[in-house]
């Protein structure tokens, strides 16, 4: 099968389209024929081996996991001997390493039935970003109707889902983005939009019950300034340009974890855990019309390096997807 593989860390040029063996599902795994995949900042971090501290888990000299890609949507091709939830031919979506390929193997407990009202590319755009937004707002912030939420990075992959999920939970949403993305974020339901190029939201915004920072370029002091005394600060991701850092966005997370023990405001560093239950919750929101994925651009499998370069350099809005198999 064809796959996007990587042997060493570096810029998008280290990625190449190659022929590799098709994986075989074992245990509770499901073999999925990939119709579409999506590009995430996570792919960039794996490609670059950045921050350097992450190489303890990724591999020091090069990535242990050679095939890039995490998000996908496709059709079940075969199942392992212990897999019982899906049958060949069913349409599914989920997360598993190795998604930039014709086929990918994934445990059945990180897959769910593809939302019926989405195409494969649209469905592939959902799992990691949608799951991150859902866990942050529903589980960590315990968002309640009427609360005020500020989302810094509202036009990005996670941000576009966060705006919609917050509205679905009855919150009042302030979205921070650039002027070129105002119309997009407004269409997703944001109540107030702040253009960060013209206004410093940490100085002008009123106190919010939840601040969801998806950029990582402001200090904890700045972010806490727009929180209520017992509000919740969510920290997730940040930074996909330049590279070469020791701790990268992890540095702000470390400070946040330390600070959370000494202040009344809650500070959470968000690590999204894959789970069928979360994909099912996202599917319900999508099929009910409350949430929709937004796609900026799509690329064929052979152009994954160009897709990641676009994510790095052009401040992509919403999601960038990879069409693996026309369907």
CATH code (residue 234)? 3.40.50.720
Identify the three-state secondary structure at position 228.
Answer: strand
Residues 167 and 246 in one domain: yes
Residues 33 and 86 in one domain: yes
| Distance of alpha carbon 272 from alpha carbon 136, whole angstroms | 8
> Domain for residue 288, yes or no?
no
Residues 106 and 188 in one domain: no
Residues 44 and 78 in one domain: yes
Residue 303: pLDDT above 60?
yes
Residues 96 and 133 in one domain: no
- Give the tens place of pLDDT for each residue, 108-150: 999 999 999 999 999 999 999 999 999 999 999 999 999 999 9
| Distance of alpha carbon 213 from alpha carbon 319, whole angstroms | 18
Domain that holds residue 229: 129-269
Mean of per-residue pLDDT scores for the chain? 91
- Give the tens place of pLDDT for each residue, 200-221: 999 999 999 999 999 988 889 9
Pseudo-torsion of CA 256, 259, 264, 269, nearest 10°? 20
Residues 247 and 315 in one domain: no
Residues 185 and 220 in one domain: yes
Residues 19 and 120 in one domain: yes
Residues 114 and 149 in one domain: no
Query: Which residues are CB-neighbours of 261 under 8 A, at least 6 positions away?
Result: none
Choice between 42 and 194, residue whose per-residue pLDDT is larger: 194
Residue 247: pLDDT above 50?
no
Residues 122 and 42 in one domain: yes
CATH code where residue 311 lies: 3.90.180.10
User: How many domains is the chain partitioned into structurally?
Assistant: 2
Written as one string, the DSSP assignment of 165-213 is HHHHTT-EEEEEE-GGGHHHHHHTT-SEEEETTT--HHHHSPPEEEEEE
**Helices H, strands E: what count in the chain?**
11, 15
Sign for the pseudo-dihedral over CA of 70, 75, 77, 80 = positive
Average pLDDT estimate for 254-273: 74
> Domain for residue 171, yes or no?
yes
Query: pTM for the whole thing?
Result: 0.92
Residue appearing with tokens 């001997």: 81
> Domain for residue 286, yes or no?
no
Geometric angle at alpha carbon 209, from 204 and 212, rounded to 5°: 75
> Domain for residue 282, yes or no?
no
């Amino acid at each position: 099968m064809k796959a996007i593989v990587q042997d060493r860390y570096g810029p998008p040029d280290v990625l190449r389209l190659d022929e590799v063996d098709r994986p075989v599902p074992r245990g509770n795994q499901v073999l999925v024929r990939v119709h579409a995949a999506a590009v995430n900042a996570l792919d960039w971090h794996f490609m670059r081996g950045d921050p350097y501290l992450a190489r303890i888990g990724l591999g020091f000299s090069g990535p242990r996991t050679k095939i890039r890609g995490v998000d996908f949507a496709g059709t079940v091709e075969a199942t392992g001997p212990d897999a019982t939830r899906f049958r060949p031919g069913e349409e599914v979506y989920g997360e598993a390493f190795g998604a930039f390929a014709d086929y990918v193997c994934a445990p059945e407990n990180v897959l769910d039935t593809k939302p019926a009202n989405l195409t494969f590319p649209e469905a592939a755009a959902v799992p990691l970003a949608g799951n991150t937004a859902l866990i942050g707002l529903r589980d960590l912030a315990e968002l309640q109707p009427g609360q005020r939420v500020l989302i810094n990075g509202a036009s990005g992959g996670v941000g576009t889902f966060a705006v919609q999920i917050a509205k679905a939970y009855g919150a009042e949403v302030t979205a921070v983005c650039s002027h070129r993305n105002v119309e997009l974020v407004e269409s997703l339901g944001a109540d107030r939009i702040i253009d960060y190029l013209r206004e410093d939201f940490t100085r002008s915004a009123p106190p919010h019950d939840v601040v969801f920072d998806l950029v990582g370029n402001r200090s904890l002091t700045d972010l806490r300034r727009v929180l209520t005394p017992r509000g919740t600060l969510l920290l997730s991701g940040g930074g996909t340009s330049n590279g070469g850092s020791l701790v990268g966005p992890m540095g702000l997370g470390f400070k946040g974890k330390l600070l959370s023990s000494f202040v009344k405001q809650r500070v959470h560093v968000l690590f999204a855990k894959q789970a069928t239950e979360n994909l099912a919750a996202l599917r319900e929101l999508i099929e009910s019309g409350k949430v929709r994925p937004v796609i900026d651009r799509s690329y064929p499998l052979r152009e994954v390096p160009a897709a990641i370069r676009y994510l790095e350099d052009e401040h992509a809005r919403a999601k960038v997807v990879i069409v693996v198999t026309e369907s």
